[in-house]
Amino acid sequence: MTESSRRIVIEPVTRVEGHGKVTILLDERHRVREARLHIVEFRGFERFVQGRPYWEVPVLVQRLCGICPVSHHLAASKAMDLIAGVERLTPTAEKIRRLMHMGQIFQSHALHFFHLASPDLLFGFDADPAVRNVLGVAQKHPELARQGVLMRKYGQEVIRATGGKRVHAIVAVPGGVNKSLSAAERDALLADVERMTDWAEAAVGVARDYTLDNLEQIADFGSFTSSHLGLVRADGALELYDGLLRAVDETGQVIFDRLENDRYAEVLAEEVRSWSYMKFPFIRSLGPERGWYRVGPLARLNVCERITTPRAEAARRAFFAALGDPPCQVTMAYHWARMIEVLHAVEAIHELLLDPDITGDELLRSGTRREEAVGVIEAPRGTLFHHYRVDENDQVTMANLIVSTTSNNEPMNRAVRQVAEQHLSGRDRITEGLLNHVEVAIRAYDPCLSCATHALGQMPLAVELRDADGRLLDRRTRG
């Protein structure tokens, strides 16, 4: 580091509280030399789960993340179904799990969009931070804020009715579920589902209008070309619970297609870098330099050919009609894609609630014990991989997890760097609004690590400018 170089640290509250932070190094001419998103959190799950009985894992592992615990609960359960020798669940068990999963997609996306991203979209990236939070939204757009809170509530109620609890469900067990819906629970959820569908469609409109009205400003914002990865059905349709792996490159060419879940390690690897506890996944055939990819709502729209529910499919067509053929590379279009999935989730919830199997009583199957299995699911933030080996004493001997946010590690780092180069380079004063640009780019990916921290506001920040000797030159904090 030269004497006059500067180091900028953006510390979301997640960092202070142990999750992530951004550092930006500027050279003597205030150009960005390096920009990094560090994940400072380490748990050790892969090791401490060893020795635990395999049926315990679905309830244990969701404690990794209280924001999308259902995804971990179900990905682990899918692996443990296979460990228990069960290839196909009973129709009731599979549908209860799908319903819970759709409730999770619905609530998590609603939380992300309304509580977290909407202040940036409604008020602008540079708006006064005093109003640029959800309480500001509640004042200026009270109806929108109320709908956001009630949509999240509805998704959480779907999870509670299926899973027994809103956070950390207790329903999935190897080979099935331990409870289905009662008619009363089903009817209570049905009573609100149409209103939720209308609100979801309106939310698609908000996201679409925002994207199209600001396209010039956001087209390049934190954007770059990348590969995309997600699950699809055998017929190529969007699939969130149980699909096959497909990846496309930056031109839309298929890299691998309809790959069975248990072959994931043949195509994916994760690079370790010394400055982050989060690894950097890549597609093996392309290598660590070129093989990184994106996951999540935008990636899923880019890899699928259609959506099975009608209103979401119409919204998907409108998306590509407006933004051009897939793959769409506009990072800020994640928000629009996310709302299309919200609409799909609530349509799917409606279908499942009308299905007689949902109140059925055949819950469990059994089979011949196996040693090794992989469970893959589309969590709200992207493809989630759980891989376990279990010995003859029913104890776990190996666990490997690639969580959704990990796959977006390289993309988030690129977005941070790109936005820093565009907006911070060459300036000697870094304003609060400029810093928020960096966060807006991270926020598009809805990383688990920070989505909760601005659950009801924006990501808090502290920025320090230091010289090469570590002396504090300047400091900004928000709030």
CB closer to ligand SF4, 302 vs 453: 453
DSSP 201-231: HHHHHHHHHHHHHTHHHHTTTT----EEEEE
Look at residues 385, 384, 409 and name the one whose alpha carbon lies nearest to residue 399: 385
CB 115 to other proteins: min, Å: 8
CB closer to ligand SF4, 63 vs 306: 63
Distance CA 17, CA 453 (A): 10
CB 83 to other proteins: min, Å: 16
CB closer to other proteins, 133 vs 227: 133
CB closer to ligand SF4, 398 vs 452: 452
Residue with tokens 């009573």: 191
CB 459 to other proteins: min, Å: 7
CB 168 to ligand SF4: min, Å: 6
Among ligand SF4, other proteins, none, the one that 21 touches (CB under a kind-dependent 5 to 8 A) is other proteins
Look at residues 340, 271, 268, 269 and name the one whose alpha carbon lies nearest to residue 299: 340
Are 342 and 106 in contact by the 8 Å Cβ rule? The answer is: yes
**Distance from chain centroid for Cα 18:** 19
Distance CA 437, CA 418 (A): 11
CB 173 to ligand SF4: min, Å: 20
CB closer to other proteins, 43 vs 88: 43
Q: How many CA atoms lie within 13 A of 441 on its CB side?
A: 31
CB closer to ligand SF4, 66 vs 324: 66
CB closer to other proteins, 269 vs 314: 269
CB 156 to other proteins: min, Å: 6
Q: What angle, rounded to 10 degrees, do the helices at 91-110 and 142-163 form?
A: 150
CB closer to ligand SF4, 65 vs 245: 65
Among other proteins, ligand SF4, none, the one that 354 touches (CB under a kind-dependent 5 to 8 A) is none
**Residues interacting with ligand SF4, by CB under 6 A?**
63, 66, 167
The region, left, alpha or beta by phi > 0 then psi within -120 to 50, assigned to residue 446 is left
Cis peptide before 53 (omega within 30 of 0): no
Among other proteins, ligand SF4, none, the one that 23 touches (CB under a kind-dependent 5 to 8 A) is other proteins
Distance CA 150, CA 164 (A): 19
CB closer to other proteins, 347 vs 464: 464
CB 122 to ligand SF4: min, Å: 31
Among ligand SF4, other proteins, none, the one that 272 touches (CB under a kind-dependent 5 to 8 A) is other proteins
Backbone φ and ψ of 27, nearest 5°: -85, -175
CB 363 to other proteins: min, Å: 21
Among other proteins, ligand SF4, none, the one that 270 touches (CB under a kind-dependent 5 to 8 A) is other proteins
What are 414's two structure tokens? 């690129």
The count of other CB atoms within 10 Å of the CB of residue 2 is 10
Among other proteins, ligand SF4, none, the one that 285 touches (CB under a kind-dependent 5 to 8 A) is none
CB 76 to ligand SF4: min, Å: 15
CB closer to other proteins, 327 vs 460: 460
CB closer to other proteins, 40 vs 237: 40
Q: Where are the beta strands (DSSP E) in 27-162?
A: 32-39
CB 243 to other proteins: min, Å: 20
Among other proteins, ligand SF4, none, the one that 127 touches (CB under a kind-dependent 5 to 8 A) is none
Among ligand SF4, other proteins, none, the one that 461 touches (CB under a kind-dependent 5 to 8 A) is other proteins
What are 132's two structure tokens? 């640029």
Cis peptide before 380 (omega within 30 of 0): no
Among ligand SF4, other proteins, none, the one that 131 touches (CB under a kind-dependent 5 to 8 A) is none
Among ligand SF4, other proteins, none, the one that 395 touches (CB under a kind-dependent 5 to 8 A) is none
CB closer to ligand SF4, 71 vs 261: 71
Task: Mention every residue, 6+ apart, whose C-beta is less than 8 A from residue 154.
Answer: 103, 106, 107, 189, 192, 196
The region, left, alpha or beta by phi > 0 then psi within -120 to 50, assigned to residue 362 is beta
Look at residues 444, 479, 469, 463 and name the one whose alpha carbon lies nearest to residue 24: 463
Backbone φ and ψ of 226, nearest 5°: -155, 170
Which ranges of 18-90 does DSSP label H, i.e. alpha helix? Answer: 45-48, 57-61, 69-83
Among other proteins, ligand SF4, none, the one that 53 touches (CB under a kind-dependent 5 to 8 A) is none
Are 132 and 120 in contact by the 8 Å Cβ rule? The answer is: yes
CB 371 to other proteins: min, Å: 14
The count of other CB atoms within 10 Å of the CB of residue 193 is 18
CB 456 to ligand SF4: min, Å: 17
Among other proteins, ligand SF4, none, the one that 141 touches (CB under a kind-dependent 5 to 8 A) is none
The count of other CB atoms within 10 Å of the CB of residue 263 is 13
